[in-house]
Amino acid sequence: MLFAKTNAAPENPELAEKIATALAFLRDNDLASFANGSVVIEPGVITANFMSYETVAPVEVAFETHDRFMDIQCMIEGKEIIGVADRATLSEKTPYNEQKDITFYHDPETAYSQVLLSAGTLVTLMPDEAHKPKIAVSGPETIKKVVIKILL
């Protein structure tokens, strides 16, 4: 699954190659066997961050964006909703943290898209696509997922 604005990823053969490498990692490995933590796929360029957490109500999480990296978020176990909104439509809540490559935002005043991630599904998120992960589907549940960070 790819959820993106049509102009989010301009033609970029180098980026396409990085995405192909990340997708091959997802396809060719037993993702459930990885412990929480980071796995370097391509030093300084592609990292897989394995994590487990409890999903929460939408009011408990904020939208976020990253300037230097795109995300590929892939669910391994469980399910969650990820809110997605155009970064340009949001007001900043917490300024950009360069060390963590993250900015947090207030919820938009209008509706935003929601993507359901269940085991074996993924979504790609570019810097202009604010995302709000960790949202519970029908109640809190512990999930396991991997977020692959790709340097742009």
- pLDDT value for 58: 95
**pTM, full prediction:** 0.91
Average pLDDT rounded to a whole number, residues 9-27: 87
Closest CA to 47 of 76, 80, 69, 28: 69
Average pLDDT rounded to a whole number, residues 106-124: 93
Work out the end-to-end distance of the chain between its first and last CA atoms, rounded to an integer number of angstroms: 20
Domains and CATH numbers, the chain: 13-151 (2.60.120.370)
- pLDDT value for 116: 96
For the CA atoms of 9, 3, 104, 36, the dihedral, rounded to the nearest 10 degrees, stands at -100
pLDDT in tens, 52-81: 999 999 999 999 999 999 999 999 999 999
